A and B are shown apart, each in its own frame.
Chain A
Amino acid sequence: MTTINNHPIVPMRLLIGAFILSGLAGCGAPEHTTTVDYDGDYPVEQGGSLVEATRGEPSGLIPMIAGESAASAVAANIFNSLLKYDKNLELEGELAKSWQVSPDQKTITFTLKPGLKWADGQPLTSADALFTWQLVTDDNTRTPYGADYKLVTKAEAPDPLTFRVTYPQPYAPALDSWAGLQILPEHLLKGQDINTTAFRRNPVGSHYYQLKEWRNGERITLTRNPNATQGQANIDQLVTRFIPDEASQFLELMANNIDSMALNPIQYARIFPARPDLNSKIGLYKELGNSYTYLGFNLKHKPFDDIRVRQAINYAIDKQELIDGVLLGLGEPVASPYKPGTRWTNPKLKPYPYDTAKAIDLLKAAGYEDHDGDGIVDKNGKPLSFEILTNQNKQREMSAVLIQRRLKEIGIDVTIRVLEWASFVGRYIKTGDFDVVLLGWSLSLDPDQFSIWHSSQQAPGQFNFIGYHNPRVDSLLERGRLELDPDKRMVIYHEFAEILLEDSPIVYLFAGYGLPAIHKRVKGIDNPAPPAGIGHNTYEWYIPRALRRNEISTQ
């Protein structure tokens, strides 16, 4: 699923955690004085609690309805999908034991693992998968994620272990979409209004954990699911605390009250190196996220309909300066709209180099020169000036300011407007009332980007809000959806990325690293992070008894 990325770092399925809140004075010895050997070798053992923090409270725990990242992070521990991505981002079965694509590539048959159970002990069968498909495609279901599944013309569950879906024509992103649909229990949801059911705050799933307690406004506690379909996780409880302020979160991390949070580059590169006391108890990790930051032009507004102007701006922006300044070097340049290093990224493509001479030439070719000598280039008496809109996000604000200065050097006058997310989207993006935006895209693992770049996706509220329209790209995107052979698909998307770079409807700025900090009492973490990220094996993480503190019996 493609989403507009509101937060700079959204680690995928990252279950970052911490420990039992122990900040109470008089409740055992103060921890600061006890020396614990966090770096020793400890055998794997079960038990303990992980505490993480999130800024917002989920609105509910049915992921297809809730939609926000806080909800999906929690729900990912409760529900299973038919398929999942392994640590190397290859698809493998989760609830499905195997799957088969028919020779005409229009039908996918999933065979479920035998003996699956819901947390309440009821059997989990293909009927649940069918029910979930019916839910997500039902017009009464208030979900933004229905489109992929509505392409299915026939879905059937001929026997408890078989689930079969048929598409009118081959649909390449299909498997990815089935890795994204979490299966819901029919026996608990049948006949209920999915939008308002009590189940959304009291879910029953099949994954490692089940809901234990939801304290409104405070935290959600998950506890191990004895009927888990994927085996037993090591850690007993996952606690998600709602702490809206990031400064408070960081204080909680320093005080050992939460064990994990996503750091920003300054915390990672400046604060931690200067604080050995923090380094001794908190481990820092680095993973390439699934998102990139870009500068997008409103192609329906002059002068951004002129490719030369777009390219000139692209040449005038120093991407390395952005990476060094905004990310303190903790990021990578991007030249195609895919995660760097994956097969969909065209290795031949390089970002536009920083070249002001070329930029000025292109502007001149487009008719922009400084005729009146005021330092701002103009055409027909109209100076080239515009507003960069971005939302409240430190990295984006910083990028905008750096870009503003670079564009000034080639005679473009830029103002910056920073808006809070709701007015940004509601007032400007949906209405198309903007010149240039500075935003980020979070990407799915499937290379299909129909919804972002296809010319049919420009209605208000749809993702192609910059109004990109290129018949060649349209046809490549359409072909890419029909092609199931990964190698042939790769060729298609490499070509797509090449056209996109040339066309420059957006300027790729950078892809930042996710910078999770995790308390060192948590063991079993894969470091360095595999392509799937640091959180790919959270069920294998464990907390040695010796490193647990003030553990209070959960019973």
Chain B
Amino acid sequence: MIRYLLKRLFWMIPMLIGISLISFFIMHLAPGDITTTEAGFNPKASEESRQKLRELYHLDEPVIVQYGLWLERMGKLDFGASFASHQRPVFWETKDDQGNVTKGLIQEALPITLLINVLSLGLIIAIALPLGVVSSLTQNQLPDRAITLFVFIGFAIPGFWLALLLMYWTGVVHDWLPISGLHSLHYDQLGFFGKIGDSLKHLALPVFISGLSGLAGISLFVRNGMLEVLHQDYITTARAKGLGENTVVYRHALRNALLPLITLLGLAIPGLIGGSVIAESIFAIPGMGKLFYDAVLMRDFPVIMGILTIGSALTLLGNLLADLAYAWADPRVRRGVMS
């Protein structure tokens, strides 16, 4: 296990370098150089921020030196300060001489996005698991077909359209749920449970919308995994031994079908961290997606680079954890490490 862990950690180094290359490449993708794309209409400010950008990314140095310095700053997790939001730190809070703490942009946005996506992941699993099992047990029969159709509709429906329809239905026609935002105006006056209830009401639609599109993937995965397991020898053996169908399905088949799900969840991590730009802007949620979108529109390079890099690095970490969990659960994996 230790050997496996070390190997995996070693492999993260080239991956991190790859990520740094891609983000570096994107920065240089802008026509001209990045300093000409500044969004403002202000001769003086743009000259200034141009100079700042030049300094920050050492644009006057040769490309290879620029990259080296970028790599160094990545290593130190130093992503500088945002241009658009007036020098708020991109990643983590800073303290000035007077002791005023300025929160980092990612520091504030990431927990919100993670919360929404963890909730929606929970929702997905809670719904997709039974759907997938039922689907596999009724393969090619009506329930299977109906479930397949349903989860695909969930995937295919444009999220923002459904979101607006639901916002209208639950917020305007009926007074069931708030339309947008994260907290009610009187949030601070609420008690502990009131606060939780308020937050849940605000999160209900965003979580539902972001969960709906993920339903298809997981439920089909469970269905196909179940089918595969159900056809394997040991299940046949179990059946032959006269074990009850329920025991066969839930004790043996489901458990084995669920194992690969761990890896799949690992792959879902970019989505978890990346969040949904569209859902966040429609529901006015200040998460990573909205932060990134605003940064793109403002050509706020430090934020763009910071999010791409931190988001990817966290994903790598998440994948590592998922793989470790899988390896821990299934000893066969440990042997054939990178195949």
Chains A and B in contact, CB within 8 Å: yes
Instruction: Give A contacts to B, CB under 8 Å.
Output: 3-4, 20-21, 23-25, 30-32, 49, 51, 56-57, 59-60, 65-67, 142-144, 146, 195-196, 198, 200-201, 215-219, 221, 239, 241-245, 247-248, 251-252, 254-255, 257, 420-423, 425-427, 429-431, 459-463, 552-553
C-alpha gap A252/B185 in the complex (Å):
13
With A248-B180, A427-B36, A462-B43 already in contact, 6 other A-B pairs whose C-beta atoms are closer than 8 Å: A144-B45, A198-B98, A251-B172, A422-B39, A460-B43, A461-B46
A242-B284 contact in complex given A427-B31, A552-B186, C-beta closer than 8 Å: yes
**In contact, A24 and B286 (Cβ under 8 angstroms):** no
Closest to B103 in A: A216
Contact A20 B186 (CB under 8 A): yes
In contact, B183 and A251 (Cβ under 8 angstroms): no
Q: B76-97: contact bitstring with A at CB < 8 Å (1 yes, 0 no)?
A: 0000000011110000000010
For residue A261, give the distance in angstroms from its CB to the closest CB of chain B: 13
Residue of B nearest to A245 (CB): B282
Binding-face segment, B12-20, B140-148, B163-171 = B163-171
Chain B positions 173-205 with a Cβ under 8 Å from a chain A Cβ: 174-186, 189, 198, 201
The answer for the CA separation of A198 and B174 in the assembled complex, in Å, is 42
Known: A243-B284, A461-B46. A21 touches B185 (CB 8 A): yes
A251→B171 contact, CB < 8 A: yes
Contact between chains at A217 and B281 (CB < 8 Å): no
Q: Are A459 and B175 in contact, with the CB atoms below 8 A? A: no
The residue of chain B having its C-beta at the shortest distance from the C-beta of A221 within the complex is B185
Residues of B with C-beta under 8 A to A461: 41-43, 46-47
| Shortest beta-carbon distance from B93 to chain A in Å | 12
Count how many chain B residues have C-beta atoms less than 8 Å from C-beta atoms of the other chain: 57
Q: Smallest CB-CB separation from A430: which chain B residue?
A: B36
- Chain B residues with CB under 8 Å of A219's CB are 181, 185
Asked if A252 meets B41 with Cβ closer than 8 Å, knowing A20-B185, A20-B186, A422-B298, the reply is no
Q: Is the interface of A mostly helix, strand, loop or mixed?
A: loop
Residues of chain B lying within 8 A (CB to CB) of residue A67: 40, 42, 45
Interface flag for B37 (CB, 8 Å):
yes
Enumerate chain B residues within 8 angstroms of A239, measured Cβ to Cβ. 185
A196-B86 contact in complex given A144-B44, A241-B181, A422-B298, C-beta closer than 8 Å: yes
Enumerate chain A residues within 8 angstroms of B42, measured Cβ to Cβ.
67, 144, 461
Contact B86 A60 (CB under 8 A): yes
Q: Which 10 A-B pairs have the closest CB atoms?
A: A217-B286, A144-B42, A422-B39, A461-B43, A198-B100, A426-B37, A552-B186, A21-B185, A243-B284, A23-B178
**Chain A nearest CB, measured from B325 CB (Å):** 33
Q: What is the 8 Å Cβ interface bit string for chain B, positions 97-111, against chain A (1 contact, 0 not)?
A: 010101100001100
**Number of A-B pairs whose CB atoms are under 8 Å?**
162
Chain B residues near A (Cβ < 8 Å): 31, 36-48, 84-87, 96, 98, 100, 102-103, 108-109, 164, 167-168, 171-172, 174-186, 189, 198, 201, 281-286, 290, 294, 297-299
Residues of the A chain whose Cβ atoms lie less than 8 Å from the Cβ of B167: 248, 251
- Complex Cα–Cα for A201 and B87 (A): 12
Bound CA span A144–B201, Å: 43
- Say which residue of B39, B47, B109, B286 sits within 8 Å of A425 (CB atoms): B39
**Set of chain B residues within 8 Å of A221, measured between Cβ atoms:** 185
Contact partners of A244 in chain B: CB under 8 A: 281, 284, 290
| Cross-chain contact B284 with A245 (CB below 8 angstroms) | yes
User: With A195-B87, A459-B43 in contact, do A31 and B299 touch (Cβ < 8 Å)?
Assistant: no
Given A59-B84, A248-B167, answer yes or no on A30-B43 (Cβ-Cβ < 8 Å).
Answer: no
Cβ-closest chain B residue relative to A33: B175
Rounded to whole angstroms, the CA-CA distance of A241 and B108 in the bound complex is 18
- Given A49-B185, A144-B45, A248-B167, A216–B37 Cβ distance below 8 Å? no
Q: Give complex CA distance A429, B290 in Å.
A: 27
Q: Inside 8 A of B98's CB, which chain A residues have their CB?
A: 198
